[in-house]
Amino acid sequence: MHLKVDSCLSNEYKEGMTIQDLLDYRNVEAVPWLVISVNGTFVPRAKFKEHVLNDGDVIELIYVRGGG
Amino acid sequence: MSRYDRLLELSTFSKEKLELLSKKRILLVGVGGVGQYVATCLVTNGIQHLVIVDYDKVELSNLNRQILLKEEDVGKLKSDVVLAELIKKNSEIEIYARNMKVTAENADSMVEKIDLIIDAVDNWPTKLVLGDLAKKHNIPLLHIGVDGNRGQYCLFKEKSLSDVFDNSIKKEPRDGVMGPMVGTVASLASMYLINYLVGDAPSDVLYYFDAKENKLGQMKI
């Protein structure tokens, strides 16, 4: 299926993938300062393993910063 | 001629909105790079009551991004220096400074009669304390964070900071920071905050900026 991850559209993704599957596939570690949105809406960390992605979803991986 | 003439000429602004801003009592925790930009924007654009909190002393390495500081300030209490500079910007409003380190034990003492808290501190443990404080007292919290080429801000009202940021955050890998990056994120956050306070911007949206990718984005939380 097609996903747009960090502005890059690709059809390489398997149907039924969860957010955690996507992170594993891309070798992205779910570090505590990683925040993810799907189609412009924040997804809580506790939902990474159950949130199933759909064809055409837009995913943003944001590394938040703690400086002031 | 009024100091707010140019603000009032803005097509999306009005005397009524300026009146709204004048009634807000703001607590700003952290007056480093982000906090100094935000404080300057607020005291010159309609906020009439501001409390600033910091415990650091001025260091020479602060001067690349902390716009209110001068070489002669090195070694002085940052809260005192920033207060004096803000009064020079606007001597007609109420600005108070507290030299203290915010902890879970003393945080409650800061929020009496406060309408909104701004988190401009430079570490996650204190950000999480402010998140809990805002939630406990049901006070909106504007979180701002910036480092390296990235920054973000979010006004938590219906949601709280701990709903988004993992409590296990202790310290993310730190990068250096260029002065304009701090100013960019702090200015965006300040503009957003003023719009929020006059009813022109939504709460509970995380806005983020990546300077390397030149990308601005947002997510509803």
The pLDDT value recorded for residue B122 is: 95
The pLDDT value recorded for residue B89 is: 98
- Indicate if the pLDDT at residue A34 is higher than 90: yes
- Global confidence as pTM: 0.96
Which of B166, B164, B155, B144 is CA-nearest to residue B205?
Answer: B155
Q: Across the A/B interface, how many CB contacts are shorter than 8 Å?
A: 87
Rounded to an integer, the average pLDDT of A17-44 is: 97
- Is residue B7, in this structure, part of any structural domain at all? no
Query: How crowded is residue B111: how many other Cβ atoms within 10 Å of its Cβ?
Result: 18
Tokens of B51: 């409390």
Q: Are B140 and B157 in contact (CB under 8 A)?
A: yes
Within chain B, what is the greatest distance between any pair of CA atoms? 52
CATH superfamily of domain region A3-63: Beta-grasp domain (3.10.20.30)
The pLDDT value recorded for residue B167 is: 82
- Is residue B3, in this structure, part of any structural domain at all? no
- Is residue B36, in this structure, part of any structural domain at all? yes
| Share of residues in chain A with pLDDT > 90 (%) | 96
The pLDDT value recorded for residue B204 is: 98
Residues of B with CB under 8 A from a CB of A: 30, 32-35, 119-124, 127, 144-148, 150-152, 163-166, 168-172, 174, 177, 182, 206, 208, 215, 217-221
Our count of domains for chain B comes to: 1
pLDDT tens-digit profile of B139-190?
999 999 999 999 999 999 999 999 999 888 887 788 999 999 999 999 999 9
Substitution target in B156, B177, B219 with the highest count of A β-carbons within 10 Å is B219
The secondary structure of chain B as a DSSP string is --TTHHHHHSTT--HHHHHHHHT-EEEEE--SHHHHHHHHHHHTTT--EEEEEE-PBP-GGGGGT-TT--GGGTTSBHHHHHHHHHHHH-TTSEEEEEE----TTTGGGG-TT-SEEEE--S-HHHHHHHHHHHHHHT--EEEEEEETTEEEEEEESSS-HHHHS-TT-S-PPP----HHHHHHHHHHHHHHHHHHHTT-S-SSEEEEEETTTTEEEEEE-
Substitution target in B166, B210, B216 with the highest count of A β-carbons within 10 Å is B166
pLDDT < 50: residue spans in chain B: none
CB contact under 8 A, B172 and A66: yes
Residues in chain A: 68
Rounded to an integer, the average pLDDT of A25-38 is: 95
- Where do the domains of chain A lie? 3-63
Residues of A in Cβ contact (< 8 Å) with B65:
none
- Is residue B4, in this structure, part of any structural domain at all? no
Check CB contact of A10 with chain B, cutoff 8 Å: no
CB contact under 8 A, A42 and B220: yes
CB contact under 8 A, B147 and A65: yes
Q: Are B118 and B111 in contact (CB under 8 A)?
A: no
Check CB contact of A60 with chain B, cutoff 8 Å: yes
Alpha helices in A1-68 (DSSP H): 19-25
Residues of B in Cβ contact (< 8 Å) with A42:
164, 206, 219-221
Could you report how far apart the first and last alpha carbons of chain B are, in Å?
Answer: 42
CATH code, B177: 3.40.50.720
Q: Are B81 and B58 in contact (CB under 8 A)?
A: yes
The pLDDT value recorded for residue B151 is: 97
The pLDDT value recorded for residue B171 is: 78
Amino acid identity for residue B61 in this structure? S
Cα–Cα distance, B209 to B141 (Å, whole number): 19
Nearest to B147 among A32, A62, A67 (CB): A67
The pLDDT value recorded for residue B143 is: 98
Tokens of B219: 């997510």
Q: Which domain holds residue B131?
A: 12-220
- Is residue B5, in this structure, part of any structural domain at all? no
